[in-house]
Amino acid sequence: MNIEFRGVLKSYGSVRALDHVSLLIQPGQIVTLLGPNGAGKTTLIRCIAGIAAPDKGAIYLDDHEFKRDRLDLRRRMHLLPDFPFHFWEQSVVRNIAIVLRIFEADGNGAEERVLELLRDFDLLPLALRPVNSLSRGQAYKAGLVAMLAADREVWLLDEPFASGMDPHGIDAFKRHARAAANRGRTILYSTQLLDVAERFSDRVCVIHKGEIRAFDTLERLRESANDKDNVLEEMFRQLRSSG
């Protein structure tokens, strides 16, 4: 699915969270959103998910203008915020089942997919436990399993690497995300971890004060950088000094 921002402006009071953002994200990519706190990363993700409404401009999904009544478009995306949408008193599998049924992804083979994912994320022994009895990282993994099992075209993740997941979970997520991108899925995630962004992205989108400062592959960004080994760090230093 092509995601295109055309002059999107979004303000909260006098703060411009997105300042005339124009951007085209093509399918089959892992896109990392980078930027200082309050730069507009989460707002950008929320705009795609239909939660935040742009004040000006529009978002086009496969050349269709995205409005909230376009449920066909909305169901092709899956949002996983920093605290997943769980019924916390329900069990892990029940929460997964609810998500699968909402996205109508509960057809044949769903059970094997869920089983494999639960195993991959070390959640199988905890599958019948209520989510509120799990640790934060485990609860996040439960949301992630639901997302991977539903397997929508666009995955929107807000700070997945600051979610309390253990290294094994992070590794499993990366493997599944890479495989999904190869299948043509688009994965858009925000992070503050520059080394993760360097290793786990096809494109990097640097956002600062609501403006897109860079949107390119890491190789291209390296070409234009002075410090080629620490291209993202240099970029952040420049952002700070430019104000």
Partner 1 sequence: MTLHSPKFEKDLCKRIKQAIRSSPELRREHRTAKKYRRQYSGTLFVWLLIAFVPGFLIWSIQDIVSRPETALALITLWGFSLIAFRAQSLLSCLFSSRDLRTFALLPVSEQTIFRWELQKFFHGSLISPLHFLGAFSAFAWLFAFSPLKWLAVLPLALLTWAVTVAAGGFCAARRPLFPYQLVFTGFVLLFFVILLSQKFVAQPLIALLDHYAFGLNLISPSGWPVSLFQLLLPNPRWANLILLVPIAALLLTFKKSLARLSNRYQYREQTIPPVADLVPPSETAEPATPVRAGQQPLRLGPTAIEEVIRSRQFLLSVPWHNAGWFENLLWRWFSEREKNLADFVFPNGFAIGEPWKTIFRNLAVALFVALLVDLISPAAKLWVLGIGLFITVTHCLAQILVTGRAFQLIMSNGVGIPMYAGLGIGLRELAGLLVKCSMAQLPLLCLFTVACSTVVVWQLSAPLELGIWYGLKITILVLGGRFIALIFGFSSGTNDTSRIRLRTISLIFSVIFLVLAFIGLAAASLLIPDQRFALPLLVLTLAEAYATFRLYGWFYHANRFDLMRIPQR
Beta bridge partners of 211: 208
Provide, rounded to whole angstroms, the least separation between the CB of residue 28 and partner 1.
21
Provide, rounded to whole angstroms, the least separation between the CB of residue 227 and partner 1.
23
Nearest to partner 1 of 59, 181 (CB atom): 59
Asked if 15 touches partner 1 (CB under 8 A), the answer is yes
Determine how many CB atoms are found less than 10 A away from the CB of residue 219: 8
Residue 40 carries which DSSP code? S
Longest dimension (CA), the chain: 55
Asked if 56 touches partner 1 (CB under 8 A), the answer is no
Asked if 46 touches partner 1 (CB under 8 A), the answer is yes
Structure tokens of 152?
């929508």
Asked if 115 touches partner 1 (CB under 8 A), the answer is yes
Provide, rounded to whole angstroms, the least separation between the CB of residue 136 and partner 1.
12
Asked if 136 touches partner 1 (CB under 8 A), the answer is no
Name the residue among 38, 25, 54, 17 with its Cα closest to residue 156.
Answer: 25
Provide, rounded to whole angstroms, the least separation between the CB of residue 221 and partner 1.
26
Site size with partner 1, rule: CB under 8 A: 59
Name the residue among 60, 56, 66, 68 with its Cα closest to residue 11.
Answer: 56
Which DSSP helix (H) or strand (E) runs through 32?
strand 30-34
Which 3 state secondary structure label does DSSP give 217?
A: coil
Asked if 6 touches partner 1 (CB under 8 A), the answer is no
Rounded Cα–Cα distance for residues 178 and 198 (Å): 14
Residue 177 carries which DSSP code? H
Nearest to partner 1 of 73, 231 (CB atom): 73
List contacts with partner 1 (CB under 8 A): 12-15, 42, 46, 49-54, 67-69, 71, 74-75, 77-79, 81-87, 89-91, 93-94, 96-104, 106, 110-112, 114-115, 118, 124-125, 127-130, 132-133, 158, 243
